[in-house]
Amino acid sequence: MTDLTGKRALVTGSTSGIGLAIARGFADAGASVMINGFGPEHEVDAILADLRKRSGAEAVHSDADLTDPEAIASMVADCVSAIGSPHLLVNNAGMQHVAPIAEFPVDKWDKIIALNLSAVFHSCRLVIPMMRKAGFGRIINTASAHSLVASPNKSAYVAAKHAVAGFTKTIALETAEEGITANCISPGYVWTPLVEQQIPDTMAARGLSREEVMNEVLLKAQPTRRFVTVEEVASCALFLCSDGAASITGANISMDGGWTAQ
């Protein structure tokens, strides 16, 4: 089992879904964690209490809006103040919108690029100098099968995730001799609020029922015919933080039930 005792993690988009599963995995391994995201105060407090119980270490929360570079800088500064400079950075926050390109709202394009791509850049540029000083760092960017292949009606998301994969390779090369690794995890469809929320848009865009979207659009892409679980993604993230993964950097690891093998 990976031991992260004494390590400090910043996980964005982590009050639910994949990010929360990763934060729990890190806490189980002994890390202090800053989570980020939105949610009712009582729910966030319950998450923090659970993380502290799991880790025996500190857990704190930032509600920073990651479409705002200044808010990202404040989040990183708050992390350093509350638990110390992060050894582990997981860029997981994201959003989706489904619409044909000619009808794609400009404000949705701008927000998706800001959150899914630019926020990754801003957090990395702020945290990498701290990792260099520590001589150790693990950067994990949640990409997607859509970092490797495209689907109709998802132009902004596909563009952002392709770019995240390329950006990750670049920072892996820039930090290769400094004890820092940078990798993507590219899940297929994971049953999370992000996936559930895009079903109505896909129904409207393609004229399908909910069941048809589930079976003929989402799971049709995955030969396993099942959703990836958040725990599976968290296990991969935990391995990438282990000593055994020290030579894995610049990789884009598919967890898509065989989707991109086709």
Average pLDDT over residues 103-121: 98
Q: What is the pLDDT of residues 141-166, one digit of tens each?
A: 999 999 999 999 999 999 999 999 99
- Where do the structural domains in the chain lie, given as residue ranges? 8-190+229-255
Label residue 217 by pLDDT band (50, 70, 90): confident
CATH, domain 8-190+229-255, list 3.30.300.30, 3.20.20.20, 3.40.50.720, 3.40.50.620: 3.40.50.720
Distance separating alpha carbons of residues 83 and 9, to the nearest angstrom = 9
Distances in whole angstroms, Cα of residue 178 to Cα of each of 122, 140, 213: 20, 16, 45
Q: What is the pLDDT of residues 43-59, one digit of tens each?
A: 999 999 999 999 999 99
173 pLDDT exceeds 80?
Answer: yes
Catalytic residue among 9, 25, 137, 157: 157
Distance separating alpha carbons of residues 212 and 143, to the nearest angstrom = 25
190 pLDDT exceeds 80?
Answer: yes
182 pLDDT exceeds 90?
Answer: yes
- Tokens 């884009």 belong to 252
Label residue 5 by pLDDT band (50, 70, 90): very high
Distance separating alpha carbons of residues 62 and 74, to the nearest angstrom = 9
261 pLDDT exceeds 90?
Answer: yes
What was the pLDDT predicted at 198? Answer: 77
Label residue 240 by pLDDT band (50, 70, 90): very high
What was the pLDDT predicted at 197? Answer: 81
What was the pLDDT predicted at 193? Answer: 78
Cα torsion 104, 197, 143, 49: sign: positive
Is position 157 annotated as part of the catalytic site?
yes
Exposure class string for 37-64: b at 16+ Cβ within 10 A, else e: bebeeeebeebbeebbebbebbbbbbeb
Label residue 215 by pLDDT band (50, 70, 90): confident
**Average pLDDT of the chain to the nearest whole number:** 96
**Which segment of 21-25, 142-146, 197-201 scores lowest on mean pLDDT?**
197-201
Average pLDDT over residues 84-108: 96
Average pLDDT over residues 125-133: 98
| Contact predicate 192/261, CB 8 Å | no
40 pLDDT exceeds 80?
Answer: yes
Per DSSP, the three-state class of 15 is coil
Whole-number percent of the chain with pLDDT over 90: 87
The pTM score is 0.94
Per DSSP, the three-state class of 38 is coil
